[in-house]
Chain A
Amino acid sequence: MLRYALSRLTSLAISLAVASVVIFLVVEVAPGDPASYMLGINAQPDTLAALRSELGLDVPKITRYFNWVTGMLAGDFGMSYTYRTPVSQMISDRLWVSLPLALYALGLAVLIAFPAGVLAAARRGKTSDISVMAATQLGIALPNFWFAMLLVLFFAINLRWFSAGGFPGWSYFPSAIKALTLPAVALALPQAAILTRVLRSALLDTLHEDYIRTARAKGLTRRQTLWRHALRNALIPVLTIIGLQFSFLLAGAIIIEQVFYLPGLGRLVFQSISQRDLIVVESVVMLLVFAVILVNFLVDLAYAAVDPRLRSRA
């Protein structure tokens, strides 16, 4: 198991190094000079040069890359070109919204998907299965921003249970959770629908396996067989999807953040790109890449925890 974890960890480190080079190159190659953008069209050449040297844009690219990477390793992400505040501060503010939101949404998705998927698989072809499948169709088909607006209309404007948007900060704990609830529901629903379908089909596959018949021959009831033997065997594809969904929720919530006026990472990236705030873009993208790779690593560990065959291989 330790050997397996180490080998996964090595591949994690290599992926990160490669990703940092790619991100740096892509952002640097993109047209648009932050200094001229900040000073406007009529800037004087010497002012421009001064700003460029102040921002550290005049040193060779390779040096900038190493400054950037070593800075990040030390927790220093540099200064935002636009706001002149430390990037690390900006990111951590936003991360404290995006990360809880992603976890909240994923938790909801899993809570909905597991009972629904198990129910649908256990009663294949019966009314409950057909209703669950119809509901998942709907969940996948509905655009989540539209669903988010419906939620706002109903729960915020009509019932006044929640506020329509904004985020009060974590010092107001219950209301912070409350502010994240509608966005989390809007994000979770399509993910729950996908997860339900994956779990159902994975369970149906495992229910055809020979060891399920063996378990029945031992005297286990249908239900016991499903919970004790089929579910864990069906987990591998489900874990893969959960990993993908978490990465998506962390970075891809931009539309929902927009609908609910949440100061999340998605909006930060969007603003920084439009303002040519390259250093922020680089750092946020790097952070997201790190998150995705880390989640994949955790999913790999989860595979090994579920399946002893992976543990002994490494």
Chain B
Amino acid sequence: MTLLNIRNLSLSIHGTPILRDLSVSIAPGEILALTGESGSGKSMTALATMGLLPQGAETTGEIALNGTDLLQLSEPQMCNQRGNTIGMVFQEPMTALNPLQTIGHQVAETLRLRRNGEAPMTPASARDLVRDTLTRVGLPPEKVPLTRFPHELSGGQRQRVVIAMAIIRRPALLIADEPTTALDVTTQAQILDLLRDLVRDFAMGLMMITHDLAVVSQIADRIAVLRKGEIVEQGLTDDVFRQRRHPYTRALFAASRHRAQLCDVPVHEPLLRVQNVSRDYPMKRTGLFQPRPRFRALKDVSFDIRRGERLGLVGESGSGKSTLTRAMLGLDPVSGGQITLDGRLIDVNNPATRRKMQVVFQDPYSSFNPRHRVARLISEPFHLMDDAPTAAARDAAIAEVLTAVDLSPSDGAKYIHAFSGGQRQRIAIARALITRPELILFDEAVSALDVRVRAQILDLIADLSRRYGLSYLFISHDLSVVRGITDRVMVMQAGEIVEQGPTDQVFDAPSHPYTRKLIAAAPRLPAFGDEALSTDRGMT
């Protein structure tokens, strides 16, 4: 018996084809993962099922839920289905809730709607059901009162509220669009467990959309791989993972477990020294004449980065990674201790230390001024140099770094909107390289990229470190990425470095309980056959 049956679904938006002849089905109690890279049509499939496609969308084919073709329903009939027979969970728990309403109000809202002409639930019974449902998703009202506002909850708690909203009417079908992508690994593991339990308990069908194959392998019964709006391969998760019939599936797999080839570097003297650094932030006063309490974001942090070394930094959000990055760049003053580069104190106003250290940020879309040409964007760090090249030498330097990141020198004349996410990240690396720095900070530099692009960028970083003798600090929440690109790794928790050591040693034999917890929570791609064992030194 099938619950959801999508047959020959094609979708175009303003004439641009988005989905082509897509057919999948979900049975009650079954978890289907839709996976693929960005732009493959995963989210559009979900929105088509919800009847929430953007304006200008045209569909053909059939989306049958319990035999009813959803595409034939009128808007009022669809409103009766949404939140009732189909629930949906979104990616960004931070923005998915109305900031001005209490969580109790928002969870109860769908109960107070008039459905199919039936009277809405009475406030009292609605409140009871809201309490039960929030307790079921792990937010008992005794601990998290219904009167809380979203900004008073953590990301994981908010995602639980969103899940409670989606399941409160016991929908037959639940759609979850990247439900854990914005969460920390330990929270992700809890949310995945919760979703799996709910599917079993309520015999719901779950359409799970995710780009992360490791997550897929943990949760899905069946998997459909999308590419450019078409399903290239689908089947039982185990079979698809084992057989990987389609070249695209194989490419995704290889990229997911990709490890860059790092060359061996001789150990040198320390380049950057962080000594007993702490950073306090003042908080809200508790009383009018009380001193401001302080929040200690970094606690006595000490480490070295040696010349040529590739160091990783992992930890969950709020662990102090960003504070440390800002302190290292000299953007934030430290409250205690000192940071030196090549024996000189870091100072944001001293171009000499600044040009030796550059940074590449996460978001390839918002870290460039859209009105400047690429040549100007990447030559900006020149103002840090007294002897910055001019005229022809400047053009030659721009051409050289563009070539170094596998772009063409002629790309310098283009604007940033002409480039894809991966190309923008190459441009960001070119910008960091142009002053010939000795140290680059990669702050979640590949987190926003698709797996195949990510693999290419990681190779580029490894290659550059070899050619230019670069040292870098690679900061990421993604343990598997850090494992493939660093020699040594540090684990940060609540402002402290709780463990550091050679990367493989830390990952294979973690000594600190927090590291063990992180590694246990991180979803793992299963290893099938000898190929997996020989090419991968194991995945996290």
* Chain A interface residues (CB < 8 Å from chain B): 209-211, 213-221, 224, 228-229, 232-233, 306-309, 312-314
Contacts and interface: CB of A to CB of B under 8 A. Distances in A.
The 9 closest A-B CB pairs, nearest first, are: A219-B83, A218-B83, A210-B95, A217-B88, A219-B82, A218-B110, A211-B98, A308-B149, A214-B96
Contacts of B115: 219
Nearest to B91: A210
A210 B166 CA distance: 15
B76 A214 contact: no
A220 B151 contact: no
Interface in B84-137: 84, 87-88, 90, 92, 95-101, 109-110, 113, 115
Contact of A214 (B75, B97, B113, B152): B97
B207 to A, nearest CB: 13
B331 interface: no
A3 B100 CA distance: 20
Nearest to A210: B95
Contacts of A232: 100
B162 interface: yes
B447 interface: no
Given A211-B97, A233-B98, A309-B151, A218 B90 contact: no
A308 B96 contact: no
B79 A217 contact: no
B151 A214 contact: no
Nearest to B86: A217
Given A217-B87, A218-B83, 16 more contacts: A210-B96, A211-B96, A211-B98, A214-B97, A215-B109, A217-B52, A217-B82, A217-B166, A219-B79, A219-B81, A219-B83, A220-B79, A233-B99, A307-B100, A309-B151, A312-B149
25 contacts: A211-B97, A211-B98, A213-B52, A214-B90, A215-B98, A216-B52, A216-B82, A217-B50, A217-B90, A218-B83, A218-B109, A219-B83, A219-B84, A219-B113, A219-B115, A220-B79, A221-B75, A224-B113, A229-B98, A232-B100, A307-B99, A308-B99, A309-B99, A312-B151, A312-B152
A171 to B, nearest CB: 45
A309 B83 contact: no
B151 A308 contact: yes
Contacts of A229: 98, 101
B456 interface: no
A219 B80 contact: yes
A220 B84 CA distance: 11
A312 B165 CA distance: 25
A228 B110 CA distance: 12
Interface residues on B, range: 20 to 34
Nearest to A232: B100
Contacts of B110: 218-219
Contacts of A314: 284
A259 B109 CA distance: 52
Contacts of B151: 308-309, 312
Contacts of B83: 217-220
A209 B101 CA distance: 15
A209 B82 contact: no
A209 B95 contact: yes
A233 B92 CA distance: 18
Contacts of A221: 75-76, 79
A277 to B, nearest CB: 43
B96 to A, nearest CB: 5
A306 B100 contact: yes
A229 B97 CA distance: 10
Nearest to A3: B288
A132 B371 CA distance: 33
A308 B99 CA distance: 8
A220 B100 contact: no
Contacts of A313: 284
Nearest to B107: A218
A309 B149 contact: yes
Given A218-B82, A219-B83, A309-B151, A211 B99 contact: yes
Nearest to A233: B100
Contacts of A219: 79-84, 110, 113, 115
A104 B109 CA distance: 37
A214 B79 contact: no
B448 to A, nearest CB: 17
A220 B152 contact: no
A45 B534 CA distance: 110
A314 B283 CA distance: 12
Nearest to A206: B98
Interface in B300-323: none
B52 A218 contact: no
Contact of A220 (B96, B97, B109): B109
A218 B97 CA distance: 12
A289 B231 CA distance: 67
Nearest to A222: B75
Contact of B90 (A210, A306, A309): A210
A178 B75 CA distance: 48
Given A219-B80, A220-B113, A312-B152, A214 B100 contact: no
A214 B149 contact: no
A214 B165 contact: yes
Nearest to A308: B149
A314 B97 CA distance: 23
A218 B165 contact: yes
Most buried by B among A214, A224, A307: A214
Contacts of B84: 219
A220 B101 CA distance: 15
Nearest to A212: B98
Nearest to B151: A309
Contacts of B76: 221
B144 to A, nearest CB: 15
A220 B111 CA distance: 11
A144 to B, nearest CB: 35
A229 B115 CA distance: 19
A214 B82 contact: no
A198 B82 CA distance: 32
Interface in B53-80: 75-76, 79-80
